[in-house]
Amino acid sequence: MPSRRTLLLGGGLAGSAVLGAVATDRLWHSGTVKRKRISVSWEQGGVEGSGHLLQTVLAPDGEVDLQYAPAYVEAAVEGARAVSVDGSLHEDLATEFGSVAYTVGVCGTAPGENCAYGMRRVGREGFNRLQVGDVGTVSVAGDRLFVHGVEERSDWSGRSDVGTFEFER
């Protein structure tokens, strides 16, 4: 027969697991991907700088606006809604700049009404999985976004505006 300590410990661990699963489940939510951004920072001559190499936005009217620096991220852009960074491009960017950050804005990741969201850091894999207009199942921990699932919107037929710019440090 198990001791009282073993039973209490086992019950406590099981209860913690159930409470943890319930608490985590409530943090997961689904929302439309509204923005994606690739940001970089660097130091040059003792001065720190930062900027964006790519930004794509889903406007309220359904139009996708994509602006990017082709000298750095042309390989990431397949179309207005198809933006992903492979390992080779990531390594090139990491070599060129001090840091590379991938951020995504998904409805429901900030308090408020009308699809409030915050731009949150996400890993390269999550950045690649979430495309503007898709519905992502995500959770937020601090300034990080974790992707748990994606419902791709392959039937999207909205307008798009794709433009380029020269990125200078």
Contacts of 132 by beta carbon, 8 Å cutoff, 6+ apart: 33, 34, 35, 36, 56, 57, 58, 64, 80, 81, 83
Helix, strand or coil for residue 117?
Answer: coil
Query: Would you state the pLDDT for residue 112?
Result: 61
| Mean pLDDT per 10-residue segment, the chain (169 residues) | 52 46 60 96 93 95 94 96 96 96 88 74 97 93 93 82 93
10 in a structural domain: no
In this prediction, residue 155 carries a pLDDT of 73
Instruction: Confirm whether 19 is domain-assigned.
Output: no
- pLDDT recorded at residue 118: 83
Residue 7 lies in a domain: no
Q: In the numeric block, which tokens belong to residue 109? A: 């990741």
- Domain tally, the chain: 1
d(CA 104, CA 126): 9
Domain hosting residue 100, numbered range: 29-164
Global pTM value: 0.80
User: What is the structure's pLDDT at 28?
Assistant: 85
Is 97 contained in some domain? yes
> What is the predicted pLDDT for the residue at 14?
47
